[in-house]
Amino acid sequence: MKTTQLTAEILRKKSFLCVGLDVDMDKVPSAFRNSPTALVDFSKAIIDATVDYAVAYKPNLAFFETYGVEGMAALKEVIDYLNAKHPEIFTIADAKRGDIGNTSTRYAKAYFETLGFDSITVAPYMGKDSVEPFLAFKNKHTILLALTSNPGSNDFQRLETNGKPLFQSVLETAKTWEGSDQLMYVVGATRADALTDIRKIVPDAFLLVPGVGAQGGSLAEVATYGLNKEVGLLVNSSRGIIYASQEEDFANAARRAAKAMQEEMALLLAQNNLI
């Protein structure tokens, strides 16, 4: 999927919401916990409940890989369901992969071709030759970890290198790589103060922004500093939507939570003259 298609869907739905599918069997409603198809059934129920308000879905691979072959089969079924029923939806494999040469190529083939995702999250620590193999896949997107929302991000990402934080050097260097027009970047909502500087470096790129909701990030702040002329944002919410209720009304609760975010996003888009 090209970013122009993603932008068109954002404007159509008046939403830049990404729903994170972090399907934790300890948190899903009790009716699912002993079912062999729980990962698929819960994911599909969340998708059906929220798809009117979301433009992207982001399965977190850890919650599927933990169940081995069965978990990966469930992931395939979920992504096939999205691709078949909602081809307009942008899909993100939250895998945080990254390795050199042919290994990265195999990761890319696994998620772009075998599983059929539109994009994948990738760690930049190993540099150019660990990321460019992902960028060789046309009409697919690589979402580079730039400035993440976890407390440990201060260990490395904000270290000063040549008079600037390391995450800024990552952004500047990544722009020089072959296929860099297919890059997106992860910027945590709890780091909204840095979005102004980030937009100076990557003014036209899409940013995937986790950390709104359960982690305390402000959607209004993210929009103020992160929106560009093509919108350029995907704001992810996982726990705040998929676990809005752990009772039988979980799907309706998820729908209400997604709708509330979409309504706030529509207002922010209007205030910024984007709709």
52 is in which domain, residue-wise?
3-271
- Rounded Cα gap, residues 82 and 146, in angstroms: 27
96 is catalytic: yes
Task: Please give the pLDDT value at position 66.
Answer: 95
Task: Please give the pLDDT value at position 188.
Answer: 87
Given a contact cutoff of 8 angstroms between Cβ atoms, the answer to whether 55 and 16 are in contact is yes
- Amino acid identity of residue 80, one-letter, is D
Q: Say if residue 215's pLDDT is above 80.
A: no
Tokens at 80, concatenated: 């096939």
Q: Which residues lie closer than 8 Å to 158 by C-beta, 6 or more apart?
A: 147, 165, 166, 167
Q: What is the CB neighbour count within 10 angstroms for residue 208? A: 25
Among residues 218, 216, 228, 157, the alpha carbon closest in space to that of 186 is found at 157
Q: Phi and psi for 148 in degrees, rounded to 5?
A: -90, 165
Catalytic residue among 27, 76, 96, 128: 96
pLDDT (tens digit per residue) in 154-163: 899 989 988 9
pLDDT (tens digit per residue) in 12-54: 999 999 999 999 999 999 888 888 899 999 999 999 999 999 9
What is the DSSP-derived secondary structure letter of residue 213? S
Range in 94-98, 101-105, 161-165 with the lowest mean pLDDT: 161-165
pLDDT (tens digit per residue) in 163-203: 999 999 999 999 999 999 999 999 987 777 789 899 999 99
Task: Please give the pLDDT value at position 2.
Answer: 74
Total domains in the chain come to: 1
Given a contact cutoff of 8 angstroms between Cβ atoms, the answer to whether 19 and 46 are in contact is yes
Mean pLDDT of the chain: 94
Among residues 123, 247, 101, the alpha carbon closest in space to that of 174 is found at 123
Residue 71 backbone class (left: φ over 0; alpha: ψ -120 to 50; beta: rest) = alpha
Q: Domain with 203 in it: what CATH number? A: 3.20.20.70
Given a contact cutoff of 8 angstroms between Cβ atoms, the answer to whether 201 and 169 are in contact is no
